[in-house]
């Protein structure tokens, strides 16, 4: 039997004791628990004056990189390791994963988010949550919901239509909540269609709990709550950070005056209490720092995306991988990022790493040949110094067999959107000048979100997308450059030629407190594909040091969904890993749809020369669209095209499979058009009975008052878009309001 809490204790329990702890309740012996960021490391605050500085912990690759592995097994292992670090630091809830969609390449927190595709984000995040929670540490799925920009982030209203909301922006949350059951969900700062997420009953209670069955605790984002009473009424349980004596008192007052149902406060407090009790079962543990560093390196190497690897004139193979023996090429390492790595973004996810690998040291260790270094540019954009450094770098490039140019974005951080996707000018100059003197140039990028590669990439034979790779990124880059790891990373976000091409371009970041999600369902590759627009590198793209061939795909349907199978052969000479992607489309669909959508994928190791039969399944639920007329998910019947390949634009084989649709019937009303009445068998029957004539084809023959209309195809087409009740007003119309009412009763009865 649990002891009752007083109203004041309940109120106190629904806000934090401080920034990182829940409020202990002595009367019932309830301790405080620690919660902390998240998501790619454990940032346990070490200095009371500095909320953002944490104790040393493994800085795993941020989501921009881990998502590029397309491998849920790796994400699960990362989650397990994070869970172990939480246990070692007595942390009960790790504030992650962040799964908002990357709506625009300009999103300031894109580096913390997984993808522009909700299936990829959801599958990877679910694996991460399962990993963390397998250690009896809770995850906090964030930011719920539609938190895809930093501009005006604490107030802006994300204005998005319901179908887009359901199919795109809530979809990954639904997957993680239903499949991985996170202990907690963190609400977003922003408003959704005009209502603060922290006060949105529809979002926090009707969707999250009633529809998806969430039974955990809802946290606020830090500082997201404008009105404690409204938030508790909506379904928010814990307001962070604390203490919030004023808000606690407001809750007590609201209960006393009858403004707030006491059961709602008791419910919120009960959920915080249940979380604390759940956390109490966790045992302390330790972790192996070296093993976690090795895991961070493995994930980082798997995250690297080889964008380009052309042979230089005279060679048969691509420039990469580089031979590492004494006869290997001498190497110029150019660019300050090789020595001073950019390995994570700024803000609440910033981890103090246990150690930090840099590419220069790791490349020097990886090859027996000569390695020379020049910084090439300054980190503070100092133009005069940059000119001198450029000249030095050109000299070093000239003196070496191969030039590795490390460039990227200077900064991505929580709190600010990016102002563009171009490389800094000094970096572009470095690439342009180096490649003039050394055609064997490899560009290695460090960036937390998409960078334009056009037009400079046409001049260089090899481009390596190195994201922000966490503390072991330097060694991971060396692993890929020298072929110790065969790259298998794939883009989780499209790289456009120009920001102006992007589907979000005209509606980002909004103004005057609103951002209109004008591209609707056509987020990322869905938008590029629908408009058949050229991109620099498509969603799902990434090269390997080997090649893969695809056999013929087959697809079968069952009540559970689809199974798609395809043989994949490693046609090259190196063992490798292919990310097999299945994109599904329904040509001729009755609703607006993307040409194709990612519905399944598998990261599969394939040995040189071998063939692997790959099988993936697609839940029937994942074929559904949100029907706004019926307010529910509907699977439309028809011939679904399952295109299988190596990227969203490299589809090698397509299997077509017939799927039986859900039975749906919209009730017919006077507002339903004549065409809708005729298309509905019961509607057509009711019309036929009433008017003694069958509408549409073969309609002649009747002699009732509508017979002439029904038999005249032109007339029928003309009138088919007219609501039945509107047909009553035409002179001589046999329809009256009374007859329409009878027809409605007959058709629906
Ligand atoms: C961020 C959250 C984070 C929280 C606590 C907020 O500013 O939006 O992602 O978990 O701070 O640091």
Q: Rg of the Cα trace of the chain?
A: 29
CA 95 to centroid of ligand 1, rounded, Å:
8
> Percent of the chain, pLDDT > 70?
98
Specify the length of the chain in residues. 749
CA 36 to centroid of ligand 1, rounded, Å:
9
Q: What is the mean pLDDT of the chain?
A: 96
- What is the SS3 string spanning 595-653? CCEEEEEEEEEECCCCEEEEEEEEEHHHHCEEECCCCEEECCCEEEEEEEEEECCEEEE
Token look-up 């042979």 returns 311
The residue whose C-alpha atom lies closest to atom 7 belonging to ligand 1 is: 222
CA 470 to centroid of ligand 1, rounded, Å:
19
CB atoms within 10 A of CB 500: 8
Q: What is the pLDDT of residues 49-67, one digit of tens each?
A: 888 889 999 999 999 999 9
The residue whose C-alpha atom lies closest to atom 12 belonging to ligand 1 is: 348
- Prior bond of 728 cis (ω within 30°): no
Indicate if the pLDDT at residue 1 is higher than 70: no
Q: What is the pLDDT of residues 316-371, one digit of tens each?
A: 999 999 999 999 999 999 999 999 999 999 999 999 999 999 999 999 999 999 99
Higher pLDDT pick, 695 / 746:
746
Q: Give the atom of ligand 1 at the shortest distance from the alpha carbon of 347.
A: 7
Q: What is the pLDDT of residues 520-550, one digit of tens each?
A: 999 999 999 999 999 999 999 999 999 999 9
User: What's the pLDDT score for residue 703?
Assistant: 66
The residue whose C-alpha atom lies closest to atom 9 belonging to ligand 1 is: 348
CA 348 to centroid of ligand 1, rounded, Å:
5
CA 108 to centroid of ligand 1, rounded, Å:
13
User: What's the pLDDT score for residue 702?
Assistant: 61
Residues with CB under 6 A from ligand 1: 37-38, 95, 142, 221-222, 348
Q: What is the pTM of this model?
A: 0.96
Are 532 and 296 within 8 A, CB to CB?
Answer: no
Q: How many CA atoms lie within 13 A of 315 on its CB side?
A: 13
CA 85 to centroid of ligand 1, rounded, Å:
19
Q: Rounded to 5, what percent of the chain is helix, strand, coil?
A: 35, 20, 45
Q: What is the mean pLDDT of residues 652-666?
A: 96
Which residues, listed in sequence order, are joined to residue 579 by a DSSP beta bridge?
603
Q: Give the atom of ligand 1 at the shortest distance from the alpha carbon of 241.
A: 5
- Say if residue 194 is exposed, middle or buried (CB neighbours under 10 Å; 0-12, 13-18, 19+): exposed
User: What's the pLDDT score for residue 698?
Assistant: 53
Mapped onto helix, strand or coil, the DSSP state of residue 164 is helix
Testing ligand 1's pocket by substitution, the residue of 16, 37, 238, 344 carrying the most ligand atoms inside 8 A of its CB is: 37
Q: What is the pLDDT of residues 581-629, one digit of tens each?
A: 999 999 999 999 999 999 999 999 999 999 999 999 999 999 999 999 9
Are 140 and 95 within 8 A, CB to CB?
Answer: yes
User: What's the pLDDT score for residue 381?
Assistant: 84
Q: What is the pLDDT of residues 266-287, one digit of tens each?
A: 999 999 999 999 999 898 999 9
Indicate if the pLDDT at residue 2 is higher than 70: no
Q: What is the pLDDT of residues 89-129, one digit of tens each?
A: 999 999 999 999 999 999 999 999 999 999 999 999 999 99
Testing ligand 1's pocket by substitution, the residue of 20, 42, 95 carrying the most ligand atoms inside 8 A of its CB is: 95
The tokens describing 464, both together, are 């390596």
- Report the range of poorest mean pLDDT among 232-241, 605-614, 696-705: 696-705
Return the active site residues.
Answer: 221
Q: What is the pLDDT of residues 427-469, one digit of tens each?
A: 999 999 999 999 999 999 999 999 999 999 999 999 999 999 9
Q: Give the atom of ligand 1 at the shortest distance from the alpha carbon of 112.
A: 9
Q: Give the atom of ligand 1 at the shortest distance from the alpha carbon of 43.
A: 12
The residue whose C-alpha atom lies closest to atom 6 belonging to ligand 1 is: 222
Q: What is the pLDDT of residues 681-699, one digit of tens each?
A: 999 999 888 887 666 555 4
- Residue 293 has φ and ψ, to the nearest 5°, of -65, -40
User: What's the pLDDT score for residue 716?
Assistant: 84
The residue whose C-alpha atom lies closest to atom 3 belonging to ligand 1 is: 348
User: What's the pLDDT score for residue 177?
Assistant: 98
Which residues, listed in sequence order, are joined to residue 435 by a DSSP beta bridge?
none
């Amino acid at each position: 039997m649990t002891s009752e809490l007083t109203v004041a204790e309940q109120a106190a329990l629904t806000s934090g004791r401080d920034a990182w702890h829940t409020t202990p309740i002595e009367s019932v012996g309830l301790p405080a628990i620690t919660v902390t960021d998240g998501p790619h490391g454990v940032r346990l605050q070490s200095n009371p004056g500095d909320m953002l500085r944490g104790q040393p912990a493994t800085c795993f690759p941020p989501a921009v990189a881990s998502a590029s592995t397309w491998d849920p097994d790796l994400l699960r292992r990362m989650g397990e390791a994070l869970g172990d670090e939480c246990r070692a630091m007595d942390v009960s809830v790790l504030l992650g994963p962040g799964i908002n969609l990357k709506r625009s390449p300009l999103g300031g927190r894109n580096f913390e988010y997984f993808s522009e595709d909700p299936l990829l984000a959801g599958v990877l995040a679910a694996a991460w949550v399962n990993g963390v929670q397998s250690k009896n540490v809770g995850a906090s799925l964030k930011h719920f919901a539609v938190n895809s920009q930093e501009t005006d982030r604490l107030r802006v209203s994300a204005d998005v239509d319901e179908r887009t909301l359901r199919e795109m922006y809530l979809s990954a949350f639904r997957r993680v909540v239903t499949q991985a059951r996170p202990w907690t969900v963190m609400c977003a700062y922003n408003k959704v269609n005009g209502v603060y997420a922290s006060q949105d009953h529809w979002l926090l209670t009707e969707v999250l709990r009633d529809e998806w069955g969430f039974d955990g605790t809802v946290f606020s984002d830090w500082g997201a709550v404008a009105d404690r009473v409204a938030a508790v009424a909506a379904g928010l349980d814990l307001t962070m950070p604390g203490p919030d004596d004023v808000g606690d008192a407001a809750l007590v007052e609201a209960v006393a005056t009858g403004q707030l149902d006491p059961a709602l406060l008791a419910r919120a407090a009960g959920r915080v209490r249940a979380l604390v009790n759940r956390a109490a079962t966790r045992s302390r543990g330790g972790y192996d720092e070296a093993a976690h560093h090795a895991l961070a390196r493995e994930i980082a190497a798997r995250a690297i995306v080889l964008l380009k690897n052309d042979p230089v004139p005279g060679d048969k193979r691509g420039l990469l991988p580089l031979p590492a023996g004494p006869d290997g090429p001498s190497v110029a390492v150019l660019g300050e990022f090789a020595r001073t790595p950019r390995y994570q973004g700024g803000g609440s996810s910033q981890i103090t790493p246990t150690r930090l690998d840099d590419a220069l040291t790791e490349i020097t260790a990886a090859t027996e040949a000569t390695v020379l270094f020049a910084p090439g540019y300054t980190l503070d954009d100092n133009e005069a110094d940059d000119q001198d450094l450029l000249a030095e770098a050109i000299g070093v490039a000239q003196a070496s067999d191969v030039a590795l140019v490390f460039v990227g974005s200077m900064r991505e951080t929580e709190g600010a959107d990016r102002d563009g996707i171009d490389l800094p000018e000094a970096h572009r100059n470095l690439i342009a000048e180096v490649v003039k003197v050394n055609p064997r140039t490899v560009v290695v990028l460090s960036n937390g979100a998409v960078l334009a590669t056009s037009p400079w990439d046409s001049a260089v034979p090899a481009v390596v997308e190195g994201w922000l790779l966490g503390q072991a990124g330097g060694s991971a880059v060396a692993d890929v450059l020298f072929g110790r790891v065969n790259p298998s990373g794939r883009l989780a976000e499209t790289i456009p030629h120009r920001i102006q091409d992007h589907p979000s371009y005209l509606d980002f970041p909004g103004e005057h407190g609103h951002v209109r999600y004008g591209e609707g369902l056509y987020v990322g590759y869905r938008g590029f594909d629908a408009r058949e627009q050229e991109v620099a590198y498509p969603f799902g793209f990434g090269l390997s040091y080997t090649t893969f061939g695809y056999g013929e795909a087959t697809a079968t349907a069952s009540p559970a969904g689809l199974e798609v199978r395809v043989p994949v052969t490693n046609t090259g000479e190196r063992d490798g890993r292919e990310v097999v992607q299945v994109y599904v489309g329904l040509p001729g669909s009755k609703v607006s749809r993307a040409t194709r959508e990612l519905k399944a994928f598998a990261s599969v190791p394939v040995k040189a020369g071998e063939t692997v039969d790959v099988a993936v399944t697609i839940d029937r639920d994942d074929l559904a669209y949100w029907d706004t007329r019926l307010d529910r998910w509907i699977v439309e019947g028809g011939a679904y095209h399952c295109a299988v390949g190596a990227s969203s634009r490299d589809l090698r084989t397509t299997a077509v499979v017939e799927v039986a649709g859900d039975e749906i019937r919209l009730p017919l009303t006077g507002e339903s058009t004549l065409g809708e009445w005729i298309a509905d068998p019961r509607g057509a029957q009711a019309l036929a009975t009433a008017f003694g004539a069958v509408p549409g084809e073969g309609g002649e023959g009747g002699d009732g008052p509508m017979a002439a209309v029904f038999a005249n195809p032109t007339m029928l087409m003309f009138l088919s878009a007219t609501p039945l009740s509107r047909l009553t007003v035409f002179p001589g119309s046999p329809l009256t309001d009374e007859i329409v009412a009878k027809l409605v009763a007959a058709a629906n009865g």
